[in-house]
Amino acid sequence: MTTVNPTVNPNDILQTAESLRWEIGPEFHEQLMEGIYTEAAKLADRAVTRPEEKPRFDLDRTIDKIVTSRVWGFPMMILLFTVVFWLTISGANVPSSLLATLLIDKTVPLLHQGADFLRLPWWLSGLLIDGMYLGTAWVISVMLPPMAIFFPLFTLLEDFGYLPRVAFNLDNMFRKSGAHGKQALSMMMGFGCNAAGVVATRIIDSPRERLIAIITNNFALCNGRWPTQILIASIFIGGLVPAYLGGLISALSVVGIALLGVFFSFVVSWGLSRTMLKGEVSTFSLELPPYRPPRIWQTIYTSVIDRTLIVLWRAIVFALPAGAAIWLSANITIGGVSIAEHLISFLNPFALLIGLNGVILVAYIVAIPANEIVIPTVLMLTVLVTGTDAGAGAGVMFELDSQADTMALFSAGGWTLLTAVNLMLFSLLHNPCSTTIYTIYKETGSKKWTAVAALLPLAMGFVVTFFVAQIWRLFAG
Amino acid sequence: METNPAILLLIGTAVLAVTAVFLWPEKGILSRWQQGRQMTDRARREDALKHIYKCEQKGRRASVESIAGALHISTNDVAELLGDMQTSHLLHIHSDNITLTSEGMESALHIIRAHRLWERYLAEKTGFSESDWHSQAELQEHQLTPEAADALAAQLGHPTHDPHGDPIPNAAGSYVYHGGQPLNELAADQPARIVHLEDEPEAVYAQLVAEGLYPGQTVRLIESNSTRIRFWANGNEHVLAPIVARNISVRPLPAVVEEETAVSEKDHGTRLSDLPLGETAEVIRISPNCRGAERRRFMDLGILPGTAITAEMRSPSGQPTAYRIRDAIIALRPNQANYIYVKQV
């Protein structure tokens, strides 16, 4: 029997509690938590029974022994990804040109006929068809086929369970730059599309490493920038060597730019993890899930719906106003000169300083929504500035079928080999497209990190092109 | 281009250099200016209070010279500072003797509370490394109001000790200090518990951290002489210079606890990172040096005392190593696996 002593003062109890707090030691929260977890684990172990016999042949470990072996691990990885990229690039050519023929060559004249029939004023049909529709169609035809091939292939590898092993193999490299091994995967995804790459960083559960992966994803040369690189490399760099070597040299220079991007992403990861992101929480764990036969149809369905269509939809949303802006900037004149030309001559001194020209900078400003339309915009603006008779009219984007014609147009625009090299560098090192910027904002929920991710590569681009231009001029005269 | 590229190159390099000097983290002008701005009169005053309070605790006498040394300012400035503080009723000065008034004591305790809470916060909730905690808390202690300190304490679950083992005064300013003795003075073979690791000077503290020592750890002295201190901790033998070992405060363990530790010392175990591939071991504990998110992640994965872990395979690039934990394959880096102590079964 206990009796309640009426003389006990609540304050005495509080005081006793306070003095006891100092007795239980500093680690008691940890001990309590550990106790709860241990108890939970015991309960689970008691309730769950497992077959005692271990299978003599463990398929998962056998596959793991091969894909993570010192001899076969890296060659297999390189081979697999080469196949994926080759399938994407060669497989996308046909549907891309098919889409371009259908959406642009066939549909645009039809739309114009329709507009004439409805007696739309020239500026309205120009804005709607030559601006908004053409810009969007361009983005779709360049962007859709590679993504529709790359994403399902990538998702199949993921579904099979191979990708976590890639992260496992490469983690040491990423650890040295303060990043997470899974950044290898989000980077790879970034080669398809940076917006999808940024979304893919969700697999990284450590806050600091995830931010690093998001901010550096832009250094993975995306699908929208490959065509620019390939075109410029084959015209300018492939043209430097005999014809039979041209294809090889230009391909090597594009791969070189992509590797330079990987290099920058390591350097920037290293810098960020030691400065701005020093205080962010960092943990590491990498689960290697069991292998399973890939569910092909389900994978294709989900990767088309989840990745391809969502990214495509965002791109269209941004491409529509961009198409309008491009058309308007070339067609609205102030004092007899279009806005685009005003901008070009305004930016020209600075652009020449960094080895580019005003046309390229203006193209990069209006093409913030989608890197795919940089080259068509550059061509259109060059025609506008030089007054040559190529192209389809002010504000109408186009591409030329023959490389010789394209080269002739660039020469008329005053391009040199330096312009080409710096364009390739600037295409790698500039702000991400608006779709990616918006995705970064959605994923980080932070204006600060979005601004860093957008402005850091741009600043790096200006610095690198500036120094390349000065050194080039110093030695090449 | 009209301008000579060589000149532009020089200008460009100069601009980059100036930007670097200005923005360089920690050492750049901008961050120095930010730090300097925080060294206001109030901050100096608070640092002086803290210094005098700590001297009183250690039974030493604070002097103008010792304050000047602690605050890195001239003795003239200290004299002026002390004069100001006397007029604001923070301290008494009788000839050489500087003592705190009750008001001064209260402020000093608040600063110490803010400092130690902030260290605890950095350890638990951020990714800053041990060597950064003290210097960051030195700045932050002047920014935290008593209300903010209370909110922080509540958020952290009213911790009683900072990560170095120093007690955190509660909101009323009271705390219990389990004083210890320097490790050097411990009798040989006497088991003791580390109660405190001194975090100043930084280089010495970094050495203690590198040895894997932490408050709460059991140690046993093997040999102590004027050139070196040898002792057991964590199942490993450590050798430190006496001047370094002085910064470790220990408290001898009572006889009952002594017996318990005598048993557990046998299976102190090895680090998980030392487990050979293909071998299985049982977890004994997670090092208390593993805190916050990292520790919770381990527990989420089911790494608890008694859990069996098998080392399965190693990455072809040398690390991480994949372990089988509760039928899942989880890769951990060596610096994490170092936190987990196991015994082979």
Best of B315, B327, B335 to mutate (most A CBs within 10 Å, chain A): B315
Comparing alpha-carbon positions, the chain A residue that sits nearest to B15 is A463
Query: What local confidence, expressed as pLDDT, does residue A263 receive?
Result: 92
Mean pLDDT of A64-80: 85
Which residues, 6+ apart, have CB-to-CB distance to B313 below 8 Å?
A61, A64, A65, A68, B277, B321, B322
pLDDT at A267: 92
Both tokens assigned to B5: 């590229």
Supply the pLDDT for residue A389: 67
Instruction: Note which residues in 332-371 of chain A have CB less than 8 A from chain B.
Output: 352-353
| Averaged pLDDT for residues A197-211 | 88
- How far does chain B reach from its first CA to its final CA, in angstroms? 76
Please tell me the least confidently modeled range out of A468-472, B11-15, B57-61: B57-61
Interface test with B, best of A16, A20, A22 (most B CBs within 10 A): A22
Model confidence at B40: pLDDT above 80: no
What pLDDT band is residue A3 in, cutting at 50, 70 and 90? low
| A469: chain B residues, CB-CB within 8 Å | 5
Of A70, A276, A470, nearest to B5 by CB-CB distance is: A470
- Distance, CA of A317 to CA of A319 (rounded, Å): 6
Helix%, strand%, coil% for chain B, nearest 5: 45, 20, 35
CB-defined contacts A:B, below 8 A: 147
Cα separation, A222 vs B194, in Å, equals 55
Using an 8 Å Cβ cutoff, are B287 and B341 in contact? yes
Chain B residues touching residue A277 (CB < 8 angstroms): 127
CB B79 within 8 A of CB B65: no
Q: Tens of pLDDT along B175-188?
A: 776 667 888 887 77
Mean pLDDT confidence for A416-421: 89
Residue A52's pLDDT band (cuts 50, 70, 90): low
Average pLDDT value for residue range A258-269: 91
**CB < 8 Å to A288, chain B:** 322, 329-331
Q: For residue A387, is pLDDT > 80?
A: no
Q: Residue B234: name the closest of B188, B288, B185, B184 by CA.
A: B288
Residues 267-326 on A with a CB inside 8 Å of B are 274-289
Q: Which residue does chain A place closest to B126, by CA atoms?
A: A281
Contact B320 A275 (CB under 8 A): no
**Do residue A279 and residue B126 have CB atoms under 8 angstroms apart?**
yes
At A278 the pLDDT is 79
The minimal CB distance from A168 to the residues B160, B302, B315 is found for B315
Q: Which regions of chain B does DSSP assign to beta strands (E)?
A: 91-94, 97-100, 181-182, 191-197, 218-224, 229-233, 236-240, 248-252, 270-271, 280-286, 308-314, 321-325, 328-332, 340-344
Contacts of A180 in chain B (CB under 8 A): none
pLDDT tops 70 at residue A81: yes
- Considering only residues B60 and A177, tell me which one the structure prediction assigns the higher pLDDT: A177
Residues of B in contact with A472 (CB under 8 A): 5
A356 contacts A377 by C-beta, under 8 angstroms: no
Q: Which of A34, A67, A283, A464 to mutate to test the interface with B (most CBs of B within 10 A)?
A: A283
A224 burial level (CB within 10 Å; 0-12, 13-18, 19+): buried
Q: Average of pLDDT values for A47-53?
A: 74
pLDDT at A114 over 60: yes
Q: Per-residue pLDDT tens for B277-293?
A: 888 888 888 887 787 78
A466/B329 touch (CB, cutoff 8 Å), yes or no? no
Across A103-112, B16-25, B30-39, B236-245, least confident range: B30-39
- Percent of chain A beyond pLDDT 70? 95
Query: CA-CA distance, A284 to B80, in Å (whole number)?
Result: 52
Residue A394's pLDDT is 64
Nearest chain A Cα distance for residue B39, angstroms: 22
Q: Which residues of B touch A22 (CB under 8 A)?
A: 160, 167, 175-176, 178
Among A280, A285, A471, beta carbon nearest to B297: A285
User: Per-residue pLDDT averaged across B201-225, rounded?
Assistant: 79
Query: What pLDDT is attached to residue B255?
Result: 57
| Among the partner residues B12, B302, B313, nearest to A64 by beta-carbon distance | B313
8 Å CB contact between B342 and B272:
yes
203-222 in chain A: CB under 8 A from chain B = 207-208
What is the mean predicted confidence (pLDDT) over A38-55? 78
CA distance B25 to A334: 46
Q: Which residues does chain A have within 8 Å of residue B327's beta carbon, measured at their own beta carbons? A: 50
Would you say residue A425 has pLDDT above 90?
Answer: yes
Mean pLDDT of all residues in A38-67: 78
- Predicted confidence at residue A393, as pLDDT, reads 62
Band the pLDDT of A25: cuts 50, 70, 90.
Answer: low
Measured between CA atoms, how close is A116 to chain B, in angstroms? 48
* A172/B306 CB distance under 8 A: no
As given in the structure block, the two tokens for residue A461 are 């681009």
Which residue on chain A is closest to B288 by alpha carbon? A27
R_g of chain A, CA atoms, integer Å: 28
pLDDT tens for residues A278-296? 777 778 888 888 888 888 8
Rounded Cα gap, residues A470 and A378, in angstroms: 24
Kindly report, residue by residue over B140-162, the tens digit of the pLDDT. Answer: 888 888 888 888 888 887 888 88
Minimal C-alpha gap between A280 and chain B (Å): 5
Of B127, B296, B307, the CB nearest to A282: B127
Contact residues on chain B for A471, CB-CB shorter than 8 A: 5, 9
Q: What is the rounded CA–CA span in Å between residue B193 and residue B233?
A: 10
Q: Which residues of B touch A287 (CB under 8 A)?
A: 328-331
B42 to chain A, minimum CA–CA distance in Å? Answer: 27
Mean pLDDT comparison of A139-153, A370-384, A435-449, highest-scoring range: A435-449
How far apart are the CA of B7 and the nearest CA of chain A, in angstroms?
A: 9
Residue A26 touches chain B, beta carbons under 8 Å: yes
Q: Taking CB atoms and an 8 Å limit, are B330 and A169 in contact across chains?
A: no
Residue A134: its pLDDT value, please?
Answer: 83
Measured between beta carbons, the chain A residues lying within 8 angstroms of B178 are 22
A12-17 average pLDDT score? 83
How close B301 gets to chain A, by Cα (Å)?
9
Average pLDDT, chain A: 84
Query: Do the chains contact at A285 and B170, CB–CB below 8 Å?
Result: no
Task: Indicate whether B95 pLDDT > 80.
Answer: no
pLDDT band, very low/low/confident/very high, at B262 (cuts 50, 70, 90): very low
Nearest CB to B333 within list A37, A284, A287? A284
Dist CA A438 CA A440 (whole Å): 5
pLDDT at A295: 83
Q: Structure tokens of B272?
A: 């998980």
Instruction: Decide: A406 and A342 in contact? Cβ < 8 Å.
Output: no
A390/A413 Cα distance (integer angstroms): 12
Please give the single-letter amino acid code of residue A132. M
Whole-number pLDDT of residue A89: 77
Q: What is the pLDDT of residue A26?
A: 64
**DSSP states along B129-151:** -HHHHHHHHHHHTTT--HHHHHH
**What pLDDT score was predicted for residue A460?**
92
Instruction: Answer whether B161 sits within 8 Å of A282, measured CB to CB.
Output: no
In whole numbers, what is the pLDDT of chain B averaged over residues?
A: 80
